[in-house]
Structure 1
């Protein structure tokens, strides 16, 4: 309770500051009526994603007997999938709706805006995923959910001028509070601090951007610098030691771990926080190393164990980084939209109108 009161006090004082700069550039939508067929079809589909009523008692899908946690336990993986299927399916649906907001037809975009409001409203009214009692994996699912939800909201705001309702704001605040309450004590255990904590920091920052609550960014920034301090030189490259210990998934986990760091650096930079400066310059080396991992070109760090290939969706951070630093790590030729994750609300390519 003391921790919750402390968080709320900081939020109250932080809200008096100037408005935050959104992560994405505004792309105005013409005032038109929604395409009726598209709206009806989308609203009908949204009925298939009722608010998640279950507990956050998920277990890990990896064999917990392995210190590296890189071997799937098939039985546990099936159980985990059944537990999170409704949540992840809903997030995939939100991502599809916000992708329609990119369409050139204003009527289709307007339909997507209205459908998005309906889809979010029912989950907000139910207070989905805000329960106090959660397992360790349940807390992970909550923060990934918050990240995806807030990013889809930011896309909707930028692409259609969608506005979050008071009920939705209350829901988002409670989700962010829950994430902060669980994540804050972990900052005292740097032997445990890893990608989960990076995602917690980003999820709260993303919520702060939607809610226009600067104190959320301040809390997230502290977590960002703790993560930057973990970047370690090794064999001509750099690693995150906690992720490097993930056996055959070490490279994959580096790609997963850098995503929230790049998102925080970008959002922070847009709001006057020098997150790419000073020690933050190490993020460039980490980004280059992760691209080498993805390309499997053998440059930089190599691991003794044969690595799992990195799927494109684990590289959702790349379009964000390449937009700000096009000369450093330009995107490969082809469809940049393939670099999108359900935890980032899909592809983040093309959400800015000008080079920084």
Structure 2
């Protein structure tokens, strides 16, 4: 009898303890893969060998840009040189802040010069205080630029935020201002790309989900993390039994290039989800692995893509090593065969500003040291 009373008395306390433990576990801070925790390699003083470039003018105008495929047929695969130039000119400052952030962070992680860190934070804070890239007046190309820019900046910033050297510890007001801006932009990216019809959900949606994942980790927002995972699952379920993405096959002669272009954001999301306790590798019976394997086979022999798309494949993009940066997270999620690892080693280091810089330094630092870089 005494035991029953004691049990009744303790039950609510034990239940609340269990609930608290569950809540604590659910609220574990989001974090990036282990390589992002790397310390700054050395701390140098004196002038940096590269001056801080002038801050690109914060872009606060309408996000209405011409497409580089303007006038193309529905395959959207024929480049319009004139409209591409207009697009490049109109978005030059956005691209400059993306590339500049990535470059400065990479330099700071190597050299540790205070000027490099201040350069990056001052530039991002200037854009944050102007509430740049937040226009509600946008077209498809404009909302695409917003999510690309967010992904570039947030993923480079993660290197600073999570480094065991804690470079942001003495820059908290700026860090908070920048993170609040990333957070607002991610909310807008979610609004821009949420719940699209499946025939309109393609590589752009995956890149949007990557920008939101990078921001989720940079700002510790579980709601953004969950949205990114949701979008990954939509993408994974678009991969058919043979490893093709129907909406990328529509790109005809660029179908293989666009399948390859769909892989970096998907592989990065899966890698970030994995370290936060969400395993996406088995989604739709291993869709990400199927897609990666299909693309690697296509690079060796594009016949299957030519049969599916009805066009001889344009291999130009596939001769650029950085286009295969997805192999770093991919080969951390799966056991890549020896020939793929050898190819990866030949192409390292993988540097791409849209994924935040030097991915080899994050995922396979031994590969970079072997190259002596």
TM-score range, shorter chain: 0.7 to 0.9
Q: Which residue of 2 aligns with 1:7?
A: none
How many angstroms apart in 2 are the aligned matches of 1:31 and 1:314?
A: 29
CA distance in 2, matches of 1:271, 1:171: 23
In the other structure, the counterpart of 1:313 is 322
Residue number in structure 1 paired with 2:348: 336
Retained in 2: the 8 A contact 1:231–1:239? yes
Q: Is the 8 A contact 1:52 1:86 kept in 2?
A: yes
Structure of higher CA gyration radius: 2
TM-score by length of 1: 0.84
Q: Matched residue pairs, number? A: 329
- Aligned residue number for residue 81 of structure 1: 88
- 1:58 is paired with a residue whose SS is coil
CA distance in 2: counterparts of 1:20 and 1:331, whole angstroms: 33
**Is structure 2 residue 278 aligned with structure 1 residue 273?**
yes
Q: Which of 212, 216, 227 pairs up with 2:224?
A: 216
1:117 aligns to what? Answer: 121
Q: 1:268 to 1:99 in 2, by over 3 A?
A: same
Q: Does 1:93 align with 2:100?
A: yes
Runs of 5+ unmatched residues, structure 2 = 1-22, 169-173, 367-373
Native 8 Å contact 1:228 1:280 kept in 2: no
Give, in angstroms, the shift of residue 242 of structure 1: 0.2
Matched with 1:173 is: 183
> What's the C-alpha RMSD, in Å, of the aligned pairs?
2.6
Which residues in structure 2 correspond to 1:1-356 (within 5 Å)?
17-23=27-33, 24-29=35-40, 35-38=45-48, 41-43=50-52, 45=53, 47-103=54-110, 105=111, 107-108=112-113, 110-159=114-163, 160-163=165-168, 165-186=175-196, 189-233=197-241, 237-279=242-284, 281-293=286-298, 295-298=299-302, 301-303=305-307, 304-309=310-315, 310=318, 311-328=320-337, 329-332=340-343, 333-337=345-349, 339-352=350-363
2 CA distance for matches of 1:347 and 1:299?
32
Deviations 1:140-177 (A, max 9, x none): 00000111011111122344534362211221111001
Is the contact between residue 130 and residue 175 of structure 1 (CA under 8 Å) also seen in structure 2? yes
In the TM superposition, what is the alpha-carbon distance from 1:314 to its structure 2 partner?
A: 2.2
Contact kept, 8 Å, 1:142 with 1:179, in 2: the verdict is: yes
Per-residue Cα deviation, 1:29-81 (whole angstroms, up to 9, x for no partner): 4895x523108x433x1x15232243211121103440100001122111111
Is contact 1:230–1:240 with CA below 8 Å preserved after alignment? yes
Asked if the contact 2:156/2:355 (under 8 Å) is kept, the reply is yes
Q: Find the aligned partners of 1:279 and 1:354 in 2 and give their Cα distance.
A: 31
1:280 Cα deviation after fit: 5.5
Q: Secondary structure at the match of 1:307?
A: coil
